């Protein structure tokens, strides 16, 4: 009985170590935090290799500047994000009860394909955790406002959602 238990433990350890050694599939996820009134925005760009936060200006003759950059982050969480199936994503996920609030613009690039995605007061079980991962990496001054519990609560109380597969479909619905 003891030998069987040891074999099981060794097998589990072997699987855990071999899985963590696999390379992370390349991807890039960008999140724009835009402030229209100030003509500026902050771009959070997370890939399988690094995280870069850039301050982007929209005014003429102003240069962008890198605010923060790191290659140190939890690989297991990055691996989960790299496993997102880009073909399963839609371009718009919106709660119909709120017009303003938690609105995020994403761009997901993987396998040579890139898709813009808008989450408008909507918790997406694959994409929303990206904000949590980034917030867990960056210094406090770069944390994006994000209240997962409140967002889920608002979604549950609303119950009406708009999910659009493509921007062409969105244009045709108008």
Report the number of distinct structural domains present in the chain: 1
Domain-located, residue 1? no
Domain-located, residue 55? yes
Question: Is a pLDDT exceeding 60 seen at residue 145?
Answer: yes
Structural domain containing residue 38: 24-173
Give me the chain's average pLDDT, please: 82
Domain-located, residue 112? yes
Domain-located, residue 10? no
Domain-located, residue 4? no
Domain-located, residue 6? no
Domain-located, residue 135? yes
Domain-located, residue 12? no
pLDDT tens, position by position, 6-65: 656 555 555 555 555 678 899 999 998 765 555 568 899 999 999 999 987 766 667 788
Burial of 81 (0-12, 13-18, 19+ CB in 10 A): buried
């Amino acid at each position: 009985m003891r030998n069987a238990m040891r074999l099981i433990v060794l097998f589990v350890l072997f699987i855990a170590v071999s899985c963590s050694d696999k390379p992370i599939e390349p991807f890039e996820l960008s999140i724009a935090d835009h402030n229209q009134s100030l003509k500026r925005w902050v771009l959070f760009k997370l890939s399988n290799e690094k995280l870069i936060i850039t301050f982007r200006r929209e005014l003429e003759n102003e240069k962008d500047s890198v605010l923060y950059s790191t290659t140190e982050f939890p690989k297991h969480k990055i691996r989960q994000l790299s496993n997102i199936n880009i073909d399963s994503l839609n371009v718009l996920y919106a709660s119909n009860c709120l017009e303003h609030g938690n609105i995020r613009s994403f761009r997901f690039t993987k396998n040579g394909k890139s898709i813009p995605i808008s989450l408008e007061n909507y918790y997406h079980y694959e994409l929303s955790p990206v904000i949590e991962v980034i917030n867990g990496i960056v210094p406090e001054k770069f944390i994006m406002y994000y209240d997962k519990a409140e967002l889920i609560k608002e979604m549950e109380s609303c119950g009406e959602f708009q999910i659009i597969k493509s921007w062409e479909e969105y244009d045709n619905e108008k």
